[in-house]
């Protein structure tokens, strides 16, 4: 079956002039935010990011870290992603939150990516909070992050997988007016929805036409809470909850 890994292997040396930046490339950004990098503010290239993580030894249990590292390994010397710049990589994990975000720039676009749950205890606690608390502390971090990195940008895309998809939508609809006006798309990849109060929010209605939500045929996480923006249901090779893993999507 044709997956994101197959996409990267086939297109990694096909330039953006020949095949424009697209939804699959945005999914790649939603995956790379899971990388186990320390926080940094510098603008660095994909090869430099790969070099900084070359000595990484797995010291935390996470399904997505090895997959994100595999993606980085595929694209580290690719023609397609040679001009992709990574900046403002932020990771926070303490007793209050598990939060990750980074910014990518390429071909005049700014892609802001939010990380999903990393499997930690506090990460799962935050997932449960989505059922009754708006905004969560992590929502506030996402809004602040988007405002800081995108205030002077145009052609903004906001992406996220799982909890990161929820953060992408929430931050996008609560961004300042000048930022909202520059947001081209918000991609939530099997991320939880919003409660009814948020869906009725005027800025949500304003942005709804720019939200793109992808869920697999068997979706647990992505069908939680209110839904208005589902735009694509895709096949997955995973069984049960493993359909949530974007590397199983066809």
Instruction: Give the C-alpha separation, 136 to 66, whole Å.
Output: 28
pTM of the model: 0.90
How many CB atoms within 10 Å of residue 114?
32
| Alpha-helical regions (H) of 45-116 | 46-52, 64-75
Per-residue pLDDT of the chain (250 residues; tens, 9 = 90+): 789 999 999 999 999 999 999 999 999 999 999 999 999 999 999 999 999 998 776 666 678 899 999 999 999 999 999 999 999 999 998 888 889 999 999 999 999 999 998 766 676 677 667 666 778 889 999 999 999 998 777 799 999 999 999 999 999 999 898 899 999 999 999 888 776 777 777 778 888 889 998 887 666 565 555 655 557 777 777 777 677 788 888 8
Burial zone of 23 (CB within 10 Å; 0-12 exposed, 13-18 middle, 19+ buried): middle
**Which 8-state DSSP code applies to residue 241?**
G
């Amino acid at each position: 079956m044709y997956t994101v890994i197959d996409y990267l292997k086939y297109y990694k040396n096909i330039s953006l002039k020949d095949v424009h930046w697209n939804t699959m490339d945005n999914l790649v950004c939603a995956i790379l935010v899971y990388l186990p990098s320390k926080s940094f503010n510098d603008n660095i290239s994909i090869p430099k990011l790969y070099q900084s993580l070359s000595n990484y030894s797995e010291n935390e249990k996470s399904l997505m870290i090895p997959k994100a590292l595999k993606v980085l390994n595929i694209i580290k010397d690719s023609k397609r992603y040679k001009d992709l710049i990574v900046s403002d990589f932020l990771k926070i994990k303490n007793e209050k939150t598990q939060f990750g975000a980074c910014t990518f720039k390429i071909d005049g676009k700014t892609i802001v990516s939010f990380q999903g749950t990393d499997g930690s205890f506090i990460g799962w606690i935050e997932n449960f909070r989505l059922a009754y608390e708006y905004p969560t502390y992590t929502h506030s971090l996402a809004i602040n992050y988007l405002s800081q990195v995108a205030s002077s940008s145009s052609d903004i895309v906001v992406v996220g997988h799982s909890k990161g998809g929820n953060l992408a939508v929430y931050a996008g609809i609560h961004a300042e007016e000048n930022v909202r006006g520059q947001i081209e798309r918000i991609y939530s990849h099997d991320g939880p929805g919003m409660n009814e109060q948020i869906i009725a929010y005027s800025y949500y209605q304003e942005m709804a036409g720019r939200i793109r939500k992808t869920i697999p045929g068997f979706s647990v996480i992505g069908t939680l809470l209110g839904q208005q923006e589902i735009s694509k249901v895709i096949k997955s090779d995973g069984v049960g909850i493993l359909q949530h893993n974007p590397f199983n999507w066809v």
